[in-house]
A = this chain, B = another copy of it.
């Protein structure tokens, strides 16, 4: 009754790490079980199939992401500070996961983009929510007068997200030391362009 839920959670926690390294498809139940010193069938019993394991991994990762990236940003003042905080928190999220495989959503995005099914659906929803979140923060910044009135907030969200993807690419694949600098500079330019007055 309680022990079960506990290991269930522990499995997911470890699975997130492993999946961000080897991918949601690359993750094997046997391998995950070994890492946790659990029997393969014992682990499997917690999830009725690999697909639902993948979905649960994405859901657990989404919860973690909300907790670590989005929620802390909401404590920041409305407007540009909050927009900045979202960006910085994501950078931290990615950086902290560097010893592991980096942001699991980025890894899953290219892996699942041609693989229809529940896992893909879940991921799409998460990504849509994230973009909406970024757009909403920008919208508030417009309302607060921090951004120019006719800033296209969806475009802004898209551009910001592209920078995050670019950072992941530079940092993880190319191991480029300047990746973080580049990402931050590009984001500063984005902010500058969005502000009302021409300097």
Q: Which of B21, B174, B193 contacts A114 (CB 8 A)?
A: B21
Min C-beta distance of A19 to chain B, whole Å: 11
Main DSSP-derived SS at the A contact region? helix
A110 to B21 alpha-carbon distance, docked (Å): 9
Q: Using an 8 Å CB-CB cutoff, how does the interface string of A95-125 with B read, 1 for contact, 0 for none?
A: 0000001100011011111100000000110
**Chain B residue nearest to A167 in the complex (CB):** B162
Q: Which residues of B contact A45 (CB under 8 A)?
A: none
Q: How far is the CA of A166 from the CA of B162 in the complex (A)?
A: 4
- Decide if B123 touches A185 in the complex (CB within 8 Å): no
Is A74's CB within 8 Å of the partner chain B? no
Oligomer: number of copies: 2
Is the beta-carbon distance between A173 and B123 smaller than 8 angstroms?
yes
Does A26 interact with chain B (Cβ within 8 Å)? yes
Q: How far is the CA of A193 from the CA of B159 in the complex (A)?
A: 15
Interface residues of A in 116-157 (CB under 8 A from B): 123-124, 127-128, 131, 152, 154-155
Q: How far is the CB of A127 from chain B (nearest CB, A)?
A: 6
Cross-chain pairs A/B with CB under 8 angstroms, 8 sampled: A101-B113, A102-B113, A109-B110, A127-B173, A159-B186, A159-B189, A162-B162, A162-B165
With A131-B174, A158-B186, A189-B193 given, name 13 new contacts (CB 8 A).
A101-B113, A107-B113, A109-B169, A110-B111, A110-B169, A110-B172, A124-B173, A155-B182, A155-B186, A158-B170, A162-B186, A163-B166, A165-B169
